[in-house]
Structure formats: C-alpha cells, structure tokens
Amino acid sequence: MIIEDFTNVTAEHSPVLSLTRNLHGEAATLAFAASLAPLLTSGGLIFLQGTLGAGKTAFSRGLIQALGHQGAVKSPTYTLVEDYLLDSLHIYHFDLYRLGDPEELEFMGIRDYIDGDALCLVEWPDKGHGVLPPADLIIDLDDLGDSRQIYLTAASARANSWLQQLQSRDSSLQPVEDTLQLAGQVRTGAQP
C-alpha cells in the first residue's frame, strides 16, 4: 500500500485522521496556521503540498510568527532552508522546489535537521522522495481562487492527537472520507 512509504502510522493508531476546511483569504490561512502553532512546540515534521501559489509559504509564515518570530518569513525557494530559533524550539522551513536530486538532501545532512525535536516545515516534499523520512502531518492546499481548501492528514500518533485537539476547537473542520486514498495518492505526490 502506497501510504506505508510516506507515513509512520501503525495499526495501533489507525485509522488515519484527515480533516478539511475552507480558508477564505490570506488572513484566514494565517489565522488557521496560528491556531495549530501551540500544538507544535515539541517539534515534528510537516509536509506542505499544493501547486505554485497555493499558500504553503503563507501558512508557514502564520505558523512561524505565531510561535514568536517577529520579523519577515522569507520563502526558502533559493536558500532551500531558512531557520529560526524561538525560545528553545528550532524551526527549519524548507522549500525543495529547486532541488535537483533528493540525494542532495543527504549531502546537506537532512537527518540532523529532522531530529524529532525541531519543527520542520517542508514545501514540495515530493522532490525529496526516498530521502525524507515519513511526515507526522501532511497538509495540502487546493487553490480555489478567492479561497483555499486545506486538508490535514495525520501520519503519526502525535499528529492524530494534534488533529483531534484542533477538531474539538474548530467546528469548520470536517473529516475527509476516503483518507487512505488521500494520504496514499493525492496528498503525498506519491511515485509508483
């Protein structure tokens, strides 16, 4: 099953929880990202998927600023990674769009960044397929013009807990029906 390549879900915490809601306007993206922030202070690996301009960097900005960063959040399109140290939390914000080969991640020591304690946000994770470890949370943004549909799929036990907490606070979040298909094919940019 394709989902096994991308997640560390095990039988003990399946089924996978997947939630969706609409976000109307960039301010809604920033506010929703901020609502997730308090759950992520122990770190984790988050994949951000969606077409060019879908709002991956906007979402990251909302999250990073809600965690206490005062300045601008630059897109890491050219630098590959931007890092932040907020209190004792390290945040690494990756954009792999320009990565030529996933092996380049090995050369940059990707596993030292993704050590479990840091919060790692990865735009275009499919470019690192085969080298990136499985995500905790997979976020997909669909560009609907004036709004974005966001999908959040838990891929680890701790992400399941994050989503349960979010769901209890945000009545706009709806469960996604065909979660396995979403997580295994659409949401991960899976390669055969």
Ligand X SMILES: Nc1ncnc2c1ncn2[C@@H]1O[C@H](COP(=O)(O)OP(=O)(O)OP(=O)(O)O)[C@@H](O)[C@H]1O
Under the rule (CB under 6 A), what is the footprint of ligand X? 23-26, 28-29, 50, 52-58, 75, 95, 123, 146-148
| Residue 7 vs 57, nearer CB to ligand X | 57
Size of the site for Mg ion (CB under 5 A): 4
In degrees and rounded to multiples of 5, residue 80 shows phi and psi of 75, -40
Q: Does 56 bind Mg ion (CB under 5 A)?
A: yes
Q: Alpha-carbon Rg of the chain, whole angstroms?
A: 15
d(CA 91, CA 103): 22
Nearer to Mg ion, 123 or 136 (CB): 123
Residue 68 binds which entry of Mg ion, ligand X, none, CB below 5-8 Å type-dependent: none
3-state SS assignment for residue 44: strand
Footprint of Mg ion on 97-156 (CB under 5 A): 123
Query: Binding of Mg ion at residue 61 (CB under 5 A)?
Result: no
Report residue 177 as tokens: 């029906």
Q: Give the three-state DSSP class for 6.
A: coil
| Shortest Å, Cβ 97 to Mg ion | 7
Omega before 134 cis (within 30°)?
no
Q: Is beta strand 81-86 parallel, antiparallel or unpaired with respect to 89-95?
A: antiparallel
Q: Which is nearer to ligand X, 9 or 166 (CB)?
A: 166
Binding interface with Mg ion (CB under 5 A): 56-57, 75, 123
